[in-house]
Amino acid sequence: MGMLNLVLTNVTHKPATRLYPFEIRAPFKEFKGRIAFAPENCILCGLCQKKCPPDAITVTKADKTWEINLFRCIMCTECVAGCPKNCLSVSNERVKTGAKETVKVLVPVVDKPKADKAAPSKAASSK
Question: Which residues would be at the binding site for ligand SF4 (CB under 6 A)?
Answer: 35, 42-48, 51-54, 56-57, 59, 68, 73-79, 83, 85, 87-88
Give the nearest distance from C-beta 45 to ligand SF4 in angstroms: 4
Give the nearest distance from C-beta 51 to ligand SF4 in angstroms: 6
Q: Which C-beta is closer to ligand SF4: that of 6 or that of 87? A: 87
| Closest to 36 measured CA to CA, from 90, 75, 76 | 90
SS3 letters across 23-63:
CCCCCCCCCCCEEEECHHHCCCCCHHHHHCCCCCEEEECCC
Calpha distance 18→52 (Å, rounded): 35
Give the nearest distance from C-beta 121 to ligand SF4 in angstroms: 33
Q: Which C-beta is closer to ligand SF4: that of 27 or that of 53? A: 53
The dihedrals phi and psi of 2, each to the nearest 5 degrees, come to -60, -45
Give the nearest distance from C-beta 76 to ligand SF4 in angstroms: 4
